Each structure stands twice: as C-alpha cells, then as structure tokens.
Amino acid sequence: MAEASPRALVPVLEGEGLVLRPWDAELVAQLAAWGEYGFPYHAFDLGYLRDPARAAEELRERTAPGCHRHYIAVEDGRAVGRCSVNLEDEAGLYLWAVHVPPEHQGRGVARRMLAVLVRALEAEFPGRDFVLTSNTYAVNAHRVYFALGFHIAETRWYTDREVAERLWRVTEQERAPIAAHIRFRDGRWQVRAYVFRRAPGTPMDLRSAHQRAAGGDSGQRPQAPRSQ
Ligand SMILES: CC(C)(COP(=O)(O)OP(=O)(O)OC[C@H]1O[C@@H](n2cnc3c(N)ncnc32)[C@H](O)[C@@H]1OP(=O)(O)O)[C@@H](O)C(=O)NCCC(=O)NCCS
C-alpha cells in the first residue's frame, strides 16, 4: 500500500518483505559500502559514493523533482537493491538502474523489488506499458524480467558509452564472456541489447527456477519471449 513520504513526492512502497524508499543520506551511506561487480557491469557500481562530495551530488540528483523516481529497496533496515523509473518516456513507464549488489544476489531481491514497483505504478497509471532496455549478456536480469511478465519486443545494437570506453582497455580474456554480444562497427564498440516490454495486467511468477521446478505449475507463468 503506497503512503506519501514526508521527504519527497515519491511515494514509499511496501511489499514482498521490502520497503522501497526514496534516496536519503543514511541509505546513500549504505550504498557506498556495497560490493561491486566490475566489468561489464561496472556502470552500476557505486564505490564513488565513498567520496562525500559525490555522494551529496548524487543524493541531490536522485531526490530532485522531475519525471524520474529513484528507489532504494530496504529489507530489515538494510539497503539491498535499487531501481529507477522514468514516468514520462514516450515508450512507456521506463525502468532503469536495476541493481542488487553481489552480497544480496540470488535471493529474489530484484524480482520482489520490481514486482512491488510495477504493481504500484500499474495502479497509479492504469493502461500503460512498462519498457526497459538490457544488454543481451545480462542473463540474470532477463530471468527477472521474464518472471515479471516482460517479453523481448526488439533487439538492437547501440553504443553503451560506459561499456564501450572500457572495451578499449580490458584484456581479451576479460572481454571473452561478452564476445558474442559486442561488435566493432564504424570505429566504435557496439553492444547488443533487448528492448523488453510488459503489457498492463500481464501475470507475474516470482518463484525462482528452483521453486518452479519443485512446485509445479502456478497458473501465473511469465510469457515466453515473442522474438529474439
Ligand atoms: C541482475 C540483478 C539485478 C539480479 O538481482 P537478484 O536480486 O540477484 O535477482 P534474483 O534473485 O531474482 O535472481 C535472478 C536470476 O539470477 C540468477 N542468479 C542470481 N544470483 C545468482 C547466483 N549467486 N548464482 C547463480 N545464479 C544467480 C538466477 O538464475 C536467478 O534466476 P532464477 O531464480 O530463475 O534461477 C543483479 O544480479 C545485478 O544487479 N546485476 C548487475 C547489474 C545488472 O545486470 N542490472 C540489470 C541491467 S538491465
């Protein structure tokens, strides 16, 4: 059930064992201590928040009024994930910055966090599609999106600035795991990405693969991808 936060126009959301709160200084301090993924997920890493000036700047940006809502998922007082949504993208309600640090990975935090957000936004903005873009190598994230009822609507090549910059510097060994997902065209590194879309009301199935295998059919299965 959504309730107004006294700090901002971003409503606090609760469910699935999580509280989704707008950014504040205490939570930013927790984010600064999160573990990091490194290449090719380095753009999500938040170690720079250990610099007080950068932490203050980031907090200002993430709490500024506007079309973006930035959330931190809190479980038993601990920051365990984050996500953002652009309410005014013409493609739909646009989810981005979906991130759970390595120490909280694999416990369904991303699934639960996005389920809470999607349900709340679906009630607040009925009839709108959800959309997001994800590099094709981010397979753990894709499992989350399928579970939430997203399908792959489109595949495209684009220049992901952060990945492209790093591709000039990493070793061939570091590049190998994503070799099938990148190409060098017209003097630039490009990354393949899926555009995921979710129609309003699409069922969710928040169980992990393990739980699904053990529990049989729930009648709430996520849609299979429509195209690759
Ligand atoms: C992708 C990400 C958000 C997933 O968060 P999460 O809370 O671990 O998500 P879940 O617990 O729901 O796990 C999702 C899938 O990841 C896989 N996974 C997660 N942690 C794992 C681990 N430690 N070992 C093996 N598989 C793991 C599982 O396959 C799981 O799917 P399943 O339950 O159907 O088998 C998180 O790993 C992350 O922040 N990664 C880096 C940034 C990123 O890729 N963001 C998304 C960009 S679009």
Q: Confirm if 72 and 109 have CB atoms less than 8 A apart.
A: no
pTM: predicted TM-score of the whole model, two decimal places: 0.91
Confirm or reject: Cβ of 138 under 6 Å from ligand 1.
yes
Q: Which domains does the chain have, with CATH numbers?
A: 13-212 (3.40.630.30)
For residue 141 and ligand 1, the question of a CB distance below 6 A is answered with: yes
**pLDDT tens digits for range 128-163:** 999 999 999 999 999 999 999 999 999 999 999 999
Written as one letter, the residue type at 178 is: I
Query: Taking 70 as the threshold, does the pLDDT of residue 5 lie above it?
Result: no
**C-alpha pair distances (Å), 21 with each of 7, 9, 95, 124, 162:** 10, 11, 16, 17, 27
130-135 and 93-99 beta bridge pairing: parallel
Q: How confident is the model at residue 65 (pLDDT cuts 50, 70, 90)?
A: very high
Angle, helices 109-124/139-147, rounded to nearest 10 degrees: 40
CA of 6 to the centre of ligand 1 (A): 32
Distance 110 CA to ligand 1 centre (A): 7
Mutate which of 20, 46, 75, 140 to test ligand 1's pocket (most atoms within 8 Å of Cβ)? 140
Identify the three-state secondary structure at position 1. Answer: coil
Nearest protein CA to atom 28 of ligand 1, as residue? 140
Q: pLDDT-derived band of residue 221, with 50, 70 and 90 as boundaries?
A: very low
Measured from the Cα of 111, ligand 1's closest atom is 12
**pLDDT band (50, 70, 90) for residue 208:** confident
pLDDT score at 226: 37
Specify the residue with its C-alpha closest to ligand 1, atom 36. Answer: 100
Confidence band, pLDDT 50/70/90 cuts, at residue 74: very high
**Long-range contacts of the stretch 219-227 (C-beta < 8 A, 24+):** 222/146, 222/147, 222/148, 222/149, 222/150, 223/146, 223/149, 223/150, 223/151, 224/146, 224/151, 225/146, 225/151, 225/152, 226/151, 226/152, 226/153, 227/152, 227/153, 227/154, 227/155
The residue whose CA is least distant from atom 12 of ligand 1 is 108
- Ligand 1 binding pocket includes 131 (Cβ within 6 Å): no
Of 80, 99, 105, best ligand 1 pocket probe by most atoms within 8 Å of the beta carbon: 105
* Tally of CB atoms within 10 A around 16: 18
Side chain identity at residue 174, one-letter code = E
202 Cβ below 6 A of ligand 1: no
